[in-house]
Structure 1
Amino acid sequence: MNILGISGSLRQASFNTALLLAAQELAPDGMNIAIHRLHDLPLFDQDVEEQGDPAPVTALKQAIDAADGLLLACPEYNGGITGVLKNAVDWASRIGKARKIAALSGKTVCIIGASPGATGTVRAQDQLRLILRRAGARTEPQGDVLVFQAHTKIIDGRLADARTREALGRHLQGFAVRLAATAP
């Protein structure tokens, strides 16, 4: 089972990228999580799209196509989804010139998130689910991984909190079961 992990944060010491790295460690047997970085992804521009997808966009869409499911680590900025993650969804929701369907169409997505705040990333995750459903992805509720006060649980880039590690491991196991049940 090949999963594509994407962090909605570009920050080098990102709590959400650290959460994806922990997910790689805690993934159940048979689940491989590859992380795709968004640092080179240009801002969505339909004029650019009409000329053909830029290489970073093509790489993102191909990575999504090759994955059995997506694991999105969703930060919360100002009570909502980050611009970088919304931009990636915008590009991946588009058919473009060389495709028959959008990369996100029918793709099963699992959302996790970490924030220093008291409510984790609940508002951003709700927004992201709405946007992903609109883009044709499958985001049925599967429980939440809302790592609140992340600065006390992620130390030196590593998820150190045992209870959060256990919860993330259970969440990934549930995601694997769900993917297996929906596989063609």
Structure 2
Amino acid sequence: MMAAALGLKFADSTRRILMYTKGADRHKEFYAVMRGIFPVQELCGTLTALQMSRRYVLGIDLPLWRVLSPSVALHALANFRGMKPMFKWGSGAPWSEMQLAPWSMADDSTLSQMMKKTFKKLLWLVFISRVVVSCIKNYYMVNRQAVKRFTIYKENKAAFAADVAAEQILKDGN
């Protein structure tokens, strides 16, 4: 699901940046690739889909706020970081959404300011990477629990609920 969304976004971003930026813009191929794999909307959709699968496929009683809160929190963090919404995309500055300034752009930052900017960008990259890994792990966990629910525990719903509760306790304990 996320791979298909990223593929479509990658193709669209590449087309937009390569067609609608000026020929004199440097490094536009780099920004086309990087903007295409910047996965905030896709991760928000994946987080919501995983919570909905826990709610509807596994039958776990999750309130709506628990279903939506991970994706809302991720999108809020991205917005506070400065991500631009889709309707505000400026083809003349493809780096604005990712906050990666072109290498050729003059920057009068001091060394400490550059270190702070670098640290913030690396921290965001680590955070996004952890969310991706968490989505992959939760996908396999939900898939495994769904197979158990519809094969092993088909006749005994209480045993399935106990198994899910035990896995949740083990997951939270680590």
Tell me the TM-score range normalised by the shorter chain.
under 0.3
> Which structure: larger Rg?
2
Q: Point out the structure with the larger helix share.
A: 2
Q: Larger RCO: Structure 1 or Structure 2 (Cα < 8 Å, ≥ 6 residues apart)?
A: 1
Q: Point out the structure with the larger strand share.
A: 1
